[in-house]
């Protein structure tokens, strides 16, 4: 693949994951367990969607076909989305919501730290900005992990169950393919193995503090980055894209 095409695909993976997780979290607007948490989760959703706009705008530019961030967000179908499956898992109970946010924020904090040294100047600039936001997301979700994991028998049980359930989507985060290899060789993206090592160190420390057991690595759910999704993504897009599908080209 040509370098621009590879970059386009990589940016879609980053941008789509943030868009879908941002949308998932925005579902909790008005439904958070307490007002402060409602505001926190939707603030994080806003950050993720804002980051996604930067990434998808840049992706559209890299593609060079005259598409815009809106075309990419609103006019692609399920098979053209490149997000990690972890992002599309339903919110479930608060344990699932917060555990997913923690696992993902730990990943983005490490990824963005490495991307700050990317040879792609724009991507490096983006990483420096987004890292400041992701640091707050990680801190918030880490606090909850420890509080719930090391909390009551019920909160511990729920969080361990959530962790076990989400674990099958973790290997996809570090499952390097030809796109990662090509971008790694050109100094644009980091080595997924380095990323995995850093993620493991950080996550293991929090799991220990939260008295949670790290689940064994078993069957891996993957395919999102190649456009093969769970049944949940279609429902997200039905809501996310409804207006542009019903009234094409309509403007706010």
Report the distance separating Cα 140 and Cα 206, nearest Å.
12
Query: b/e string for 112-136 if b means 16 or more Cβ within 10 A?
Result: bbebbebebeebeebbeebbebbee
Least distance (Å) from other proteins to the CB of residue 138?
Answer: 9
DSSP assignments along 114-170, one per residue: HHTT-SSHHHHHHHHHHHHHHHHHHHHHHHHHHHHHTS-HHHHHHHHHHHHHHGGGS
* CB closer to other proteins out of 82 and 137: 137
* CB closer to other proteins out of 88 and 133: 133
Give the three-class secondary structure for 187.
coil
* CB closer to other proteins out of 18 and 182: 18
* CB closer to other proteins out of 121 and 231: 121
Least distance (Å) from other proteins to the CB of residue 84?
Answer: 19
* CB closer to other proteins out of 135 and 200: 135
Alpha helices per DSSP H over 64-93: 69-74, 85-88
Report the distance separating Cα 249 and Cα 92, nearest Å.
34
Report the distance separating Cα 79 and Cα 32, nearest Å.
31
Compute φ and ψ for 192, nearest 5 degrees: -55, -30
* CB closer to other proteins out of 54 and 60: 54
Least distance (Å) from other proteins to the CB of residue 139?
Answer: 6
C-alpha angle 96/100/101, rounded to 5°? 120
* CB closer to other proteins out of 151 and 221: 151
Least distance (Å) from other proteins to the CB of residue 46?
Answer: 4
Least distance (Å) from other proteins to the CB of residue 142?
Answer: 8
Least distance (Å) from other proteins to the CB of residue 231?
Answer: 28
Least distance (Å) from other proteins to the CB of residue 198?
Answer: 15
User: Which residues contribute to the site for other proteins (CB under 8 A)?
Assistant: 36-37, 39-40, 43-44, 46-51, 53-54, 121-122, 124-126, 128-130, 132-133, 135-136, 139-140, 142-143
Report the distance separating Cα 181 and Cα 14, nearest Å.
16
């Amino acid at each position: 693949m040509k370098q621009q095409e590879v970059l386009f695909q990589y940016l879609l993976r980053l941008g789509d994951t943030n868009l879908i997780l941002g949308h998932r979290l925005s579902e909790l607007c008005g439904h958070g367990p307490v007002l402060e948490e409602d505001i926190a989760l939707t603030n994080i959703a806003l950050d993720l969607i804002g980051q996604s706009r930067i990434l998808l705008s840049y992706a559209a530019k890299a593609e060079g076909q005259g598409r815009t961030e809106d075309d990419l967000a609103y006019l692609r179908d399920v098979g053209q989305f490149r997000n990690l499956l972890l992002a599309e898992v339903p919110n479930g109970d608060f344990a699932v919501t917060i555990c997913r946010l923690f696992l993902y924020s730990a990943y983005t904090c490490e990824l963005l730290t490495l991307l700050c040294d990317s040879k792609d100047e724009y991507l490096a600039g983006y990483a420096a900005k987004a890292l400041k936001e992701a640091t707050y997301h990680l801190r918030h979700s880490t606090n909850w992990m420890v509080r719930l994991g090391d909390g009551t028998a019920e909160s511990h049980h729920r969080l361990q169950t959530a962790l076990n359930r989400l674990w099958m989507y973790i290997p996809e985060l570090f499952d390097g393919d030809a796109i990662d290899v090509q971008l790694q060789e050109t100094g644009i993206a980091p080595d997924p193995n380095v990323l995995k090592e850093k993620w493991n160190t950080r996550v293991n420390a929090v799991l220990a503090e939260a008295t949670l057991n790290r689940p064994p690595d078993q069957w891996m759910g993957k395919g999102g980055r190649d456009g093969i999704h769970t049944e949940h993504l279609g429902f997200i897009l039905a809501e996310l894209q409804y207006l542009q599908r019903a009234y094409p080209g309509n403007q706010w």
